[in-house]
């Protein structure tokens, strides 16, 4: 493996949920420890399962892994770290400021940025304090901070005044208000990250076009701030040999090879490794020892018993229930890479096929979806929102208004705040909100929705109410703000999209909790791209399908009020016929 050659002291693994960061980080730790190196494995992943992988309870203290000589591990709990952070900042003002203001501050501190910065606060000591880590030759981090987080930590120490004067309004900057004491330690940590002699960043991806585009953006963002020592690992590539007697496996191999051939140019120049998809669950030492080598693994992909037919509701059955009302807003939400855009199109096509008027609105940068559907189906209209244009417009508006009176330092802080992931969500949702009003007389199906945290920030700042009031003018008509509409299950149905894998299901459960905090109850879960729903003949795919059954059961019985399972198709689901196939798996899988 190239990324292990002459490995520096720090190895950071980063990538979207479900791509295999934790498994690769753990396997790397085991391999280095086997080579006689003293290794510390650090996880800052909110959906961490490092303890599960080793069969050990680890927790927030450095602990030796008994089964692996030379290996120690620590799991930093980002949620606990974020809560401690919130308590530290909100505590002093709790009985000083009005309760509504305190609640607003708490909401500012409940987003993903806060959690990430709080976790970074926890592990900076592991990067900079020799007394803590002197005994370890390698420190491996499962999950690296984003470029946005690192840039925030590089900016001047003027956060407290910036926030106290209200210049930031709804903001991700909250957690930095109490950090002036740590600023020197943060600078040392960022310096360590940017030093290729000390740190190597490993980008983990899957052989999928969308995932590779995402990792290319991550690469450019981190390289722009000095983290240039990057390696690329393509994980979970289906071996070509599996394609011999299985049409689905053959289609997957062809699709993956096409995605790798069309990889963005910025990734082509990076040192690259490829790890084959394994039939076994990546839990336990045997599995970890075989992950990074090209052997068959600790268990052969022998005959696996699968049910003749997966007894789970189809997407068409969910659409039946949605269609009853004749109109309404349908929002598809989920983490990146789970297929929200495709499923939004499938829901829209199903509704239109029933003779119902549908407006599908998407922020999908791949305009081929809109082109495929445009004019091809009665009752269906498609609009596409350009996230980059909307975000640029929103940023400029904020800089022209809030930023007009700021000095250079204040403006720099505001500009960085506007690079937060929340900013794009707000900008795109404001564009979507112009379409939402149509849901009173037809179906509006929305792909890519903001998180509950972003919705609460928008509502707290009055952005919804001001926008709606401006649009309604002095008509005197009764109106409902988008937030009120989203909270009303008679008007809005939220569908959470996930995959039948451990990390994506955990992330969807976290998103559900986030939405519930905003008073929005998800209506259903959709498990996308399921191998278990396809009756595969490939031994490896049958084992993968067997592994999915546990996650499908968790969604059905623990997380969701109602759910559907959508099969992985042999062909990319583009075009009306294939989109309908997603909803009707009984029609075949071709």
Q: Rounded CA gap, 220 and 192, in Å?
A: 19
Q: φ and ψ at 304, to 5 degrees?
A: -115, 135
Name the residue with tokens 């303890």: 51
Q: Which of 175, 50, 181, 51 is nearest to 120 (CA)?
A: 175
Q: Are strands 199-206 and 230-237 parallel, antiparallel or unpaired?
A: parallel
Query: Where does residue 170 fall: left (phi above 0), alpha (psi -120 to 50 degrees), or beta otherwise?
Result: beta
Torsion from C-alpha of 362, 364, 365, 371, nearest 10 degrees = -70
Respond yes or no: is residue 143 known to be catalytic: no
User: What are the Cα distances from residue 59, in Å, to 75, 83, 254?
Assistant: 5, 16, 42
Catalytic residue among 16, 17, 23, 502: 23
Q: Are 330 and 435 in contact (CB under 8 A)?
A: no
Question: 146 by DSSP, 3-state: which?
Answer: coil
Catalytic residue among 149, 420, 492, 503: 503
User: What are the Cα distances from residue 495, in Å, to 245, 519, 522?
Assistant: 36, 15, 6
Read off the DSSP letter of residue 234: E
Q: Rounded CA gap, 450 and 111, in Å?
A: 12
Respond yes or no: is residue 503 known to be catalytic: yes
3-state helix, strand and coil shares in percent for the chain, rounded to the nearest 5: 50, 15, 35
Q: Are 421 and 148 in contact (CB under 8 A)?
A: yes
Catalytic residue among 16, 21, 278, 335: 21
Between CA 571 and CA 580, with CA 575 as vertex, the angle to 5 degrees is 80
User: What are the Cα distances from residue 207, in Å, to 204, 238, 256, 590?
Assistant: 10, 9, 5, 21
Q: Residues with Cβ < 8 Å from 330, sequence gap 6 or more?
A: 322, 344, 347, 443, 444, 445, 446, 492, 493, 495
Respond yes or no: is residue 480 known to be catalytic: no
Biggest CA pair distance of the chain: 76
Q: What is the Cα 287 distance to its own chain's centre?
A: 26
Strands (E), 303-428: 328-333, 358-362, 380-384
Name the residue with tokens 């203290």: 61
Catalytic residue among 14, 15, 17, 22: 22
Respond yes or no: is residue 20 known to be catalytic: yes
Respond yes or no: is residue 375 known to be catalytic: no
Catalytic residue among 16, 17, 44, 45: 45
Q: Rounded CA gap, 417 and 405, in Å?
A: 16
Neighbours of 309 (CB within 10 A): 10
Q: What is the Cα 407 distance to its own chain's centre?
A: 35
Q: Are strands 39-43 and 138-142 parallel, antiparallel or unpaired?
A: parallel
Catalytic residue among 15, 17, 20, 328: 20
Q: Rounded CA gap, 248 and 255, in Å?
A: 10
Enzyme catalytic residues: 18, 20-23, 45, 503
């Amino acid at each position: 493996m190239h990324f292990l050659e002459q490995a520096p002291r720090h190895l950071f693994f980063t990538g979207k949920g479900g791509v295999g960061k934790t498994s690769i980080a753990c396997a790397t730790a085991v391999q280095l420890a086997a080579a006689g190196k003293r290794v510390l494995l650090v996880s800052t992943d909110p959906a961490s399962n490092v303890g599960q992988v080793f069969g050990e309870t680890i927790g927030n203290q450095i602990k030796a892994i008994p089964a692996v000589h030379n290996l120690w591990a620590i799991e930093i709990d980002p949620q606990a770290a974020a809560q401690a952070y919130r308590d530290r900042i909100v505590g002093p003002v709790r009985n000083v400021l009005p309760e509504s203001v305190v609640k607003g501050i708490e909401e500012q501190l409940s987003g993903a940025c806060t959690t990430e910065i709080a976790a970074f606060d926890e592990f900076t000591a592991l990067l900079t304090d020799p007394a803590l880590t002197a005994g370890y030759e390698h420190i491996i981090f499962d999950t690296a901070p984003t470029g946005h987080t690192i840039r925030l930590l590089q900016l001047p120490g003027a956060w407290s005044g910036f926030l106290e004067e209200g210049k930031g309004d709804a903001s991700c900057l909250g957690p930095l208000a109490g950090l002036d004491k740590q600023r020197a330690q943060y600078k040392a940590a960022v310096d360590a990250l940017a030093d290729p002699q000390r740190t190597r960043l490993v980008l983990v991806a899957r052989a999928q076009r969308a995932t590779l585009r995402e990792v290319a953006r991550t690469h450019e963002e981190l390289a722009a701030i000095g983290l240039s020592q990057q390696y690329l690992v393509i994980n979970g590539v289906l071996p070509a040999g599996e394609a011999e007697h299985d049409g689905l496996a053959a289609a997957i191999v062809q699709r993956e090879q096409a995605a790798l051939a069309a990889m963005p140019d910025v990734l082509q120049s990076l040192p690259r490794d490829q790890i084959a998809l394994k039939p076994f669950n990546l839990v336990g030492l045997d599995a970890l020892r075989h992950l990074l080598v090209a052997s068959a693994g600790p268990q052969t992909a022998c005959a696996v018993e699968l049910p003749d037919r997966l007894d789970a509701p189809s997407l068409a059955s969910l659409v039946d229930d949605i269609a009853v009302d004749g109109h309404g807003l349908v929002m598809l939400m989920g983490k990146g890479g789970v297929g929200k855009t495709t499923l939004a199109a499938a829901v829209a096509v199903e509704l239109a096929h029933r003779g119902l008027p549908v407006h599908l609105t998407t922020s999908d940068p791949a305009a081929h979806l809109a082109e495929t559907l445009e004019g091809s189906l009665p009752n269906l209209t498609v609009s596409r929102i350009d996230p980059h244009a909307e975000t640029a417009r929103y940023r400029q508006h904020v800089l022209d208004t809030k930023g007009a009176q700021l000095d250079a330092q204040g403006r720099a802080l505001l500009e960085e705040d506007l690079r937060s992931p929340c900013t794009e969500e707000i900008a795109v949702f404001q564009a979507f909100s112009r379409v939402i009003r149509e849901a009173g007389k037809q179906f509006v199906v929305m792909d890519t929705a903001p998180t509950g945290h972003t919705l609460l920030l928008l509502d707290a700042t009055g952005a919804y109410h001001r926008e709606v009031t401006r649009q309604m003018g002095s008509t005197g008509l009764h109106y409902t703000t988008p937030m009120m509409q989203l909270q009303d299950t008679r008007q809005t149905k939220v569908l959470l999209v996930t995959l039948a894998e451990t990390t994506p299901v955990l992330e969807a459960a976290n998103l559900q909790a986030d939405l519930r905090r905003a008073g929005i109850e998800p209506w259903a879960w959709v498990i996308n791209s399921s191998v278990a729903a396809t009756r595969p003949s490939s031994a490896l795919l049958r084992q993968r399908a067997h592994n999915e059954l546990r996650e499908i059961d968790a969604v059905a019985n623990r997380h969701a009020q109602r759910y559907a399972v959508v099969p992985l198709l042999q062909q990319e689901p583009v075009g009306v016929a294939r989109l309908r196939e997603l909803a009707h798996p009984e029609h075949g899988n071709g």
